[in-house]
Amino acid sequence: MDTLASLLLGVGHGFFGYTHLADPVAAVAQILPELGEAAATDITKHCIGVIGSVHAFVSLVFVMLALSGGAHTGLRKCILGCYLVSFIPLAIYVVYTFPPSGKAPEKPTDMPMPLLGGFGAVALIGMVLGASSAKKVKTKTK
């Protein structure tokens, strides 16, 4: 399960990395539909590009972990845990403290809260239900 969680998070972050880097103006217009492309100032496009770069990095880390095989279960679970206790809470903090539209989400169903909740749930499930990283000790029988 930790491999699947790593792969799913890799794909999710890869999507955001691609959309933010391929067309930062469209990304800004999607985030701030009431302002549209007019909100895409130079600094805003720069920030969207930086965010896209971080998503691309996170994506590659998770894909690498997913493809690393069974020998790295402990490492995968550790990184899923770090992601769960750092990225998700900090993203929620940013959404409420510095909302892009100036207005924080009012309900848990307002974007991006369902997305962050989904990413957090995938990380938690992968961490909790992932394979055991304990090595099996062979015992000799007489």
- Specify the pLDDT at position 72: 78
H-assigned helices in the chain: 2-22, 24-31, 42-67, 73-97, 113-129
- Within 8 A by CB and 6+ apart from 28, the residues are 37, 39, 40, 44, 45, 48
pLDDT given at position 65: 87
DSSP state of 36: G
Rg for the chain (alpha carbons), in Å?
Answer: 19
Taking residue 95's Cβ as centre, other Cβ atoms within 10 Å add up to 17
pLDDT computed for residue 74 by the predictor: 85
Specify the pLDDT at position 141: 67
Residue segments in the chain with a per-residue pLDDT below the cut of 70: 70-71, 132-142
Question: How confident is the model at residue 2, as a pLDDT?
Answer: 84
Mean pLDDT of the chain: 88
pLDDT digits (tens, 9 = 90+) for 107-132: 999 988 999 999 999 999 998 887 76
What pLDDT is stored for residue 142 in this prediction?
Answer: 60
